[in-house]
Structure 1
Amino acid sequence: MPSEPPEPSPTDLGASTGTGRPGRRPLVRGGAVTDPLKDGQQRRLIGLPEEDDALLPIVVELNLRHAEGLPGAESRFYEMYAPAISGGEERPKPEVIANTYVRCDLTIEEVRKIVQLDSANSGPRERAIYRVWPDFPVHALTDRSVSTVKGDAAQRSFAAMGNGATWAVVDSGIDAKHPHFKMYDTLGGDVAQLHKDFTQPYEPDEPGSVQNALRDGLGHGTHVAGVIAGCMPEKSRRLRVAMHISDEFGNEAIEDRTIAEGNRLAGVAPQAKLVSLRVFDDDGRSRSTSVIKALQYVREDVNGNGKLLRIQGVNLSLGYEFDARWFACGQSPLCVEVDRLVRSGVVVVVAAGNTGYGTLSALERQSRTGLSLTINDPGNAALAITVGATHRDMPHTYGVSYFSSKGPTGDGRVKPDLVAPGERITSCAAGKALADLYGKKPPDGLAYYIDDSGTSMAAPHVSGAIAAFLSIRQEFIGRPDEIKRVFAESATSLGRERYFEGHGLVDLMRAIQSV
């Protein structure tokens, strides 16, 4: 459960303190309403309407200290909700998520009314609302790269293939028809009924949820999944591998390439099982509450709050930019839920983000440079293993990728925790990624692969490495803090700045040998 933070001033919607003196302004702005909701320009920057009369996706964080507990806070919220909303367009009913949050659609004026009604209950144990957040839009952020993290060496020396480990991929779905997932029945067997689609309001146990989770209209989730587990078909003649190339003028094209004799395209933990938890629609759209519901599903429905860890790890190659001015880093609803899942015994691996490079302006001069304090949420979560990106097979030469988000966090913690290959990573092509290659109807029967770059590709290298580790060091299942320590202490430094590389490059062989 989240710790009890300082009590906010519930009525602050960005108004002046009335003194007119900047010196009297608190260093951290109080108020139940978080900063990105108060200002239209900030709403526009995070992808929400800037007009005050527009319906906004809202997450109301309930007051844990309410005199009647969370049920009492929820009941009080509904009492205030009905008189506060105006007529007009139809809107979905409010939805309680993870017992702590209420997801609803409100205008800024309606938010103001509800907060003012709540502030009439002046005591901290009478208020229903702790904080009001936007429902942040979430964005989707290996033949040679497996050897970079020493996955191939661990397979040969220790048979660390991932068998017995199960990892959830919270993403755009996994294309179950891709041949990469056939050899080891990656998506079947014991996990066949665990897949779930969170992009639609399915009823519990509705078959369509499983079916839709095993399709991928975007292609991002299938690419991520192929880095963690699975293996290319043995008949390589039924294989087609593409790569992105650029000419001297920067124009990008795609051409086929071959796989070197003796090499194979396989995940870091080829025999691990994967559970597809679909949160992105076919256009790549999602919200933080969809991710929270997926994490709650793992914690409560699948794992029984830690009683039986059917899923030992979760990969989150997604996130959104978080401005430290908004609130304490690592305390957003999504970060709190990540930490809650880790405390239940599940390893959570998160992409650091691709916002580590940008433009700085000084007077009339602008320059492009690496930017610190750019770790994305939920990578700011303290207990997550946050992963930055390096070169695919020459990380000591080229170091940390220029785009990889850099630490520290806004409150001064070291992030990322590790780095892993994230540049031009070859993995499964599906959905839009496949259609962009060969048209809407590529020939059937081929296993298609494509390269892609980003910390989205780095995180699954670490997920796969930990799954492989757990397959032969099963005593560490349910001990995510110790797993994080083992991989941090066994990582190989690239000789770069700590806020760029964290503890260094993940090294599966050293992690196994260290215990």
Structure 2
Amino acid sequence: MVSLRRDSDLTPKELARVRDGLAGGGPGRRRQPTLRDVRPAIQRFRDLAQGFLGFASPDPVTGQRAEIWTVNRNREASVSVALSRKTVKADAAHCLFNLDTSGIRWGIVDSGVDATHPAFFDRAKLRASQPGGGPPAARQPWADLTRVAATYDFTFLRRLISTGRMPTGRAGGWPDRAQARAINGRFQREIEILRRRYDEGGDLDWSVIEPLIRVPHGPDYRAPRSNHGTHVAGILAGDWPRDENPEGDVDLRGICPALEIYDLRVFADDGSGGDEFTIQSALEFVTYLNRNRQVPVIHGVNLSLSIPHEVESFACGRTPICDECNRLAGQGVVVVAAAGNRGWVDGLAENQFGDFRSITVTDPGNASEVITVGSTHRVEPHTYGVSYFSSRGPTGDGRMKPDVVAPGEKILGPTPGGGLRRLDGTSMAAPHVSGAAALLMARHRELIGDPRRVKDVLCRTATDLGRERYFQGNGLVDVLRAIQSI
């Protein structure tokens, strides 16, 4: 689009007529503008634009003069995450109920969350540590301020239990060679017992594994290079005031801006790799953290990831990762998963037209106890309905999925290193629903440990967008209505 700002090419009378007409009438009168009011100015603008674009002469082949079919206003963009909070009514719920998510924690099973990012600072601690103002963390180490309670890296676990030694040489990842040698020397006996136990078919001993996979929040901490996990966590729990973030015109707030999160890394440092075993291990670890505790350590997990259903080996919803999600939900943890981005298939590689496809929900979204989330528009869901890329149901065995939809188009969120970026996908929609579940439990604490009821409330109170049920599920998640329904 070309933006033209040459008002001087219009006569003062024509310009005044356009401005008065678009304002609703000329001096001393109020009426809607007519075509007669603006026709001379439109003709002058048309001539100006065609001359500017080099289209004044007729086309040498067709002999026809080029036409301008539409003129669009160059609208200002606004911060998307602020808009999507309103779409799911999280802003209204916060204002009406003064919700407090203290004591509730969420696991982000993803590529890693940048714990040093200002969006995850505890603002109350920050204010208390800087009574005289100053830049964030100027007087206190970031590790004392971050709401990322802990970071665990599961990506080398398989090699650890298969070789009996901490692997080294992961570019840009944890651990480095010196740390690996230190860990091998300190835990040599424990690692060997762990390997033998696993070879014999025993369960993983997480009490041995926990110190091996924990990434310390200290001077040697390195943020992940991939944007995905930090972005997802920011939608759920980000809090970045306008006077600090690069946008500078609005507060960047997630659905639960005071929530504590656990960073459970299941992809390589650059976001590549990742497998079903690694993701299962992270979910098993959540069970370990919650085991034999009166109050759960982690109350919910967000899985913004996708695994194709292996149809020749497992029934739909009964793959190993789906079974693990169902077990975790049965133990009182809310599990939220992205539906997948396979609703539209591009046929260019096969010289065919692309097409929309049903029965495209991926694992772990096929699990029955999981809250499976599709994507819709961040501001106008009733107008645009379900996003073209959002995977559609039913499941392969005929169950209704997704369960709900949430904003997932051009959502602005934090990225490692103090950045911001807009991303699309059901991965962005899922943390909106994780946040809705956390707010629901914050208001009604009796729902903690009852993920089936949390899912029922969110589905029952969702807003119908008037689309096919296998596209939208129960509809758009509505935080305010969910809280008020109890």
**Same fold per superposition (TM over 0.5):** yes
Q: 2:94 matched to 1:155?
A: yes
Q: 2:395 matched to 1:395?
A: no
2:85 and 2:255 in contact (8 A); partners too: yes
**For 1:354, which of 326, 341, 354 is the aligned residue?**
341
Amino acid paired to 2:210:
P
Q: 2:403 matched to 1:417?
A: yes
Q: Deviations over 1:259-284 (max 9, x none)?
A: 3xxx4211101111111111111232
**In structure 2, distance between residues paired with 1:499 and 1:210:** 44
**In structure 2, distance between residues paired with 1:303 and 1:208:** 17
Moved more, 189-198 or 488-497: 189-198
Moved more, 477-486 or 462-471: 462-471
1:173 and 1:214 in contact (8 A); partners too: no
Q: Which residue of 2 aligns with 1:497?
A: 468
**In structure 2, distance between residues paired with 1:307 and 1:343:** 16
2:376 and 2:384 in contact (8 A); partners too: yes
TM-score, scaled to structure 2: 0.65
Unmatched tracts of structure 1, length 5 or more? 1-141, 242-257, 432-446
**In structure 2, distance between residues paired with 1:429 and 1:187:** 18
Match runs of 1:259-408 below 5 Å: 259=249, 263-284=250-271, 285-300=273-288, 302-304=289-291, 307-358=294-345, 366-408=352-394
Which structure has more strand as a fraction of its residues? 1
Q: Which residue of 2 aligns with 1:128?
A: none
Match runs of 1:34-433 below 5 Å: 142-184=81-123, 194-201=150-157, 203-206=209-212, 209-211=215-217, 215-233=223-241, 236-241=242-247, 259=249, 263-284=250-271, 285-300=273-288, 302-304=289-291, 307-358=294-345, 366-430=352-416
| CA deviation after TM superposition for structure 1 residue 183, in Å | 3.4
Change (3 A) 1:194 1:183: closer
Change (3 A) 1:481 1:280: same
- Percentage of pairs with the same residue: 46
Q: Deviations over 1:325-379 (max 9, x none)?
A: 5421011111100000000000000000001111579xx9943221101001110
1:197 and 1:213 in contact (8 A); partners too: no
SS of the equivalent of 1:335 reads: helix
Change (3 A) 1:190 1:295: farther
Q: Which residue of 2 aligns with 1:470?
A: 441
SS of the equivalent of 1:392 reads: coil
SS of the equivalent of 1:339 reads: helix
**In structure 1, distance between residues paired with 2:279 and 2:251:** 33
**In structure 2, distance between residues paired with 1:177 and 1:191:** 10
| CA deviation after TM superposition for structure 1 residue 469, in Å | 1.4
SS of the equivalent of 2:354 reads: strand
**In structure 1, distance between residues paired with 2:436 and 2:343:** 24
**In structure 1, distance between residues paired with 2:104 and 2:144:** 13
**In structure 2, distance between residues paired with 1:265 and 1:191:** 16
1:462 and 1:506 in contact (8 A); partners too: yes
Amino acid paired to 1:411:
D
SS of the equivalent of 1:205 reads: helix
- Tell me the C-alpha RMSD between the 2 structures: 2.5
Amino acid paired to 1:393:
V
**In structure 1, distance between residues paired with 2:431 and 2:148:** 21
Change (3 A) 1:191 1:292: farther
**In structure 1, distance between residues paired with 2:455 and 2:448:** 12
SS of the equivalent of 1:277 reads: strand
Change (3 A) 1:365 1:180: closer
Which structure has more helix as a fraction of its residues? 2
SS of the equivalent of 1:510 reads: helix
**In structure 1, distance between residues paired with 2:143 and 2:362:** 29
Q: Deviations over 1:269-305 (max 9, x none)?
A: 11111111111112322111111010000012x1006
| CA deviation after TM superposition for structure 1 residue 207, in Å | 7.7
1:176 and 1:214 in contact (8 A); partners too: no
| Count of matched residue pairs | 335
Change (3 A) 1:385 1:288: same
Change (3 A) 1:306 1:334: farther
SS of the equivalent of 1:470 reads: helix
| CA deviation after TM superposition for structure 1 residue 309, in Å | 1.1
Amino acid paired to 1:269:
C
**In structure 2, distance between residues paired with 1:213 and 1:345:** 32
**In structure 2, distance between residues paired with 1:168 and 1:182:** 17
**For 2:423, which of 452, 455, 474 is the aligned residue?**
452
**In structure 1, distance between residues paired with 2:221 and 2:286:** 15
Amino acid paired to 1:215:
A
Structure with bigger gyration radius: 2
Q: Deviations over 1:2-37 (max 9, x none)?
A: xxxxxxxxxxxxxxxxxxxxxxxxxxxxxxxxxxxx
Amino acid paired to 1:449:
L
**In structure 2, distance between residues paired with 1:320 and 1:207:** 23
